[in-house]
Amino acid sequence: MDVTAQKTGDCQYVLNLVVANEQIEKPLLQAAQRLNRRRPLPGYRPGKAPYALVERMFGKERIYDEMLGDIGDELYRSALEKSELKPFAQAGFDIVQLEPLTIKITVPTEPVVNLGSYGDIQVQVETVTVGEEEIDGLLSEIQQQHALWVPAERPIKMGDQVQLNAHGTSPGRDDIEQRDLVLEVTEGLQPTEFREALLGMKQGETKEFDIAYPSDFRDADLAGRTVHFQATVNSIKEKELPAIDDALAQSASSFERLDLLREDLRSKILGRKQAAARETAVDKALDALVALSTIEYPAVAVEHELADMLATLENRLTQQGFTLDGYLRSSGKTHEQLRDETRPQAEKRLQRSLAMLQFAQVEGISVEKAEIDHEIDRMLQSFGDKTEAIRSALTQPDVLRSISSDLLNRKILDQLLAIATGAAQPRSANSTASDAASTNAETRQPPSSGE
């Protein structure tokens, strides 16, 4: 069998196979016999009809297709060995001609990554501080959370909580009847006309007004309708805020004094800001790593990444009680538009993942079993008497792979950031021109790129 390989795109080759007649003579006969056993010819026992008669009944193309179903994988493996190509995904077979048998196989091959001079990457982690006004802001939120609703002997104003009875009528539609409805009169109360109608009303007062709901109103039963309302205010309450003092600290936390609560809030704010600053620096370092590198991958790799992202979106919507089709309707998009919008993110995530994986190989970063066990023990600390049941779930193969991938991701980003900030030197002295390396599609576990 003669094999020639031609590169037709990034990580994509076409293998042209010319198979000698003597190589397929026996497989063709066996294929014809199998077809004849499934559909015997009159006057012949199943599988015993002459080849020429079987070919006349089924056609030459049908026999060749049957044969390739039997020896196609063998021909493919042999062609890969001769061409030294490493496939990334399923190849596409096309029969160019039957005599001599000539086959064209389109093979997407493994991504190839040449890291650039990543030792030259320089980023800084921003130094962050916490201002007193930030702590005051959190204390104000705590104060709001512990406020009490108390009766207000005055007309309704913004920020009040009201209880009312409402009766709505609309021609040709069922009446709307709501009793003891509790609402907060805020900017979030929609439609705006309903909120404005309530402002200034007094306890016991009844008011009639019309509301024209927009066609895109979130409640489909009300969208596009004009409803005549009769509303009666039963009660009006306003917020009574507690003092920001030791008593609030005691009721809102485990601290006895306000100053201790303030220090705890300062520590939490600082931790969040430091984490955000670190994430920003990591993003910059990762973008620089990708920009410095030469990354080549087949088009199907992007399709795989895109499918994974859309599946994640659909799962997240399902967990929230929505469907992907419903999400698309509400956003006015088609499935194809969503794919087109997501594709740039998929490409960026793929490039990051491939660069990170190659970086891990060059830097010798891996995850040991002891590290996975330690991570599982850490995760189990908060489960109390449910520890063993949760441990069983965490040690399932898919979960273990996920934990391992997360740990690898952290170690890669830690090392990249250490190099980029000057806290560590590249392990490879030749990091300015690292060798090309391929990524095996079936065994690779690209780390998360944080996208």
pLDDT of 183-235, one tens digit each? 999 998 888 899 999 999 999 999 999 999 888 787 878 888 899 999 999 99
d(CA 265, CA 271): 10
d(CA 3, CA 16): 6
Sign of torsion, CA 37 42 45 48? Answer: negative
Nearby residues of 211 by Cβ (< 8 Å), 6 or more positions away: 168, 191, 193, 194, 197, 226, 227, 229
Residues shown for the chain: 451
d(CA 142, CA 258): 12
Cis peptide before 426 (omega within 30 of 0): no
H-only helix segments in 320-396: 324-331, 335-363, 369-380, 387-394
pLDDT tens column, 174-197: 889 999 999 999 998 888 899 999
Residue labelled with tokens 């020429």: 52
Q: At residue 441, does pLDDT exceed 50?
A: no
How is 34-74 classified by DSSP, letter by letter?
HHHHHSPPTTS-TT-S-HHHHHHHH-HHHHHHHHHHHHHHH
Q: At residue 444, does pLDDT exceed 70?
A: no
d(CA 80, CA 83): 5
How far CA 271 is from CA of 127, 128, 247, 359, in Å, comes to 12, 10, 26, 28
β-partners of residue 235 are 163
Sequence spans of domains, the chain: 2-109, 148-240, 267-438
d(CA 202, CA 233): 7
CB atoms closer than 10 angstroms to residue 166? 16
Radius of gyration of the chain (CA): 34
What is the CATH number that goes with domain 267-438?
1.10.3120.10
Q: At residue 278, does pLDDT exceed 70?
A: yes
d(CA 254, CA 359): 45
pLDDT averaged over every residue in the chain: 91
- So what CATH class is 2-109? alpha beta
Fold of 148-240: Chitinase A; domain 3 (3.10.50)
Nearby residues of 197 by Cβ (< 8 Å), 6 or more positions away: 207, 209, 211, 229, 231
Do 264 and 255 contact (CB within 8 A), yes or no? Answer: yes
d(CA 347, CA 305): 8
Q: At residue 93, does pLDDT exceed 90?
A: no
Intrachain domains 2-109 and 267-438 with the same fold: no
Residues 115-139, mean pLDDT to the nearest whole number = 96
d(CA 173, CA 241): 43
**Residue 439 pLDDT:** 46
Q: At residue 383, does pLDDT exceed 90?
A: no
Q: At residue 438, does pLDDT exceed 60?
A: no
**Residue 122 pLDDT:** 96
SS3 content of the chain, % helix, strand, coil (to 5): 50, 20, 30
Residues 94-122, mean pLDDT to the nearest whole number = 93
d(CA 188, CA 162): 14
Q: At residue 405, does pLDDT exceed 90?
A: yes
CB atoms closer than 10 angstroms to residue 408? 21
d(CA 373, CA 395): 9
Q: At residue 382, does pLDDT exceed 50?
A: yes
